[in-house]
Amino acid sequence: MSIHSTAIVEEGVTLGAGCVVHAGAIIKKHSVLGAGVVVHPFAVIGGDPQYLKFDPSIMSGVRIGAGTVIREHVTVNRSIHAGQATVIGARCFLMANSHVGHDSVVADDVVLANNVMLAGHVQVGGHTFLGGGAGFHQFCRVGEGVMVSGLARIALDIPPFAMAAERNEIIGLNLIGLKRRGFSRAAIGEIKEAFRAVYFTPGNIRDVAKAALAGDAFKTDEARRFLTFFTEGKRGFARARREAMAGDGDGD
C-alpha cells in the first residue's frame, strides 16, 4: 500500500493490499477500496452526494472493486441512504474528470472515458464502454457489453450488447465487443434475432420481449439476458435509428 504526501485518507476508510493513493487525492470516510486500486491526484472518493435534501450526518459510503484505476479529478459520491454505498466494480477504468453520482452501480470491467457524467442511481452493466463527455440521466440502466459514443445524451435505458449515440439512439449491436468476449456464433445469431424481434415487432416493447421469452425461439443465455432487460426498469427504452431498423441490426 502506498499513500503519497498531501493525500487525505479519512478515518474509517478501508484500503486493500497494494492500493496507491496519489498526492492530492481525497478518500472520504466509509469508503472501501479493494486490492490494487489506484487513485490519481485530486480525485475525490466518497464525497457528499449532490442532492439538496441530503443530511451529511447520514453514514453511507463508496465501494470500489479490486484493480480499478481512478484518474485525475474523478468524483464518486457516496449514497444518500444510511448504510448503503455507491458501487464501482473490479478492473474498471475511470478516466480524468468522470463523475459517478450517488447510489449508482457500475459493474466489473467498465470504462468511463474523460468527462463521462453518471447521475444518481444509474446502473451500468459489465464490459461496457462509455465515450468521452457522455451524460446519463438518473435511474437510467445501461446493459452489459454496451458501447456509447462520445457526447451522447442518454435519458432512456440502453439494452445489453447495443451501441448508442446522439440522444437515446441505438445504432446497432456491438458485434466487435461480443466477438472479443468470445461469444459463440449461436449466441451472436440469437442476439441478432432478439434485436430484430424487439425492434421490428409492433406494439409495446416490454410485451414483445415477454412474449419472446415465453416462446422457445431463444435458447442461449445471452439472448435471453438481452430480452429480460426489456421486462425490467423504470424508464423507457432507447429506440433504433432508421438505418439500423432497415438493416439487420449488426452495427459493427
Residues annotated as part of the active site: 102-103, 120
Residue 50 corresponds to which cell in the numbers above? 449532490
| Residue 217 CB neighbour total at 10 angstroms | 12
Residues 34 and 203: their CA atoms lie apart, in Å, by 45
Q: b/e for 39-49, b at 16 or more Cβ within 10 A?
A: bbbbbbbbbbb
Under 8 Å between Cβ of 189 and 213: no
- In the sheet that holds 61-64, the strands lie side by side as 14-15, 31-33, 61-64, 85-88, 105-106, 123-124, 141-142
Please report, for residues 19, 69, 114, 246, the alpha-carbon distance to residue 34 in angstroms, rounded to integers and kept in the order given.
Answer: 8, 11, 23, 46
Give Cα 137 distance to the centre of its chain.
12
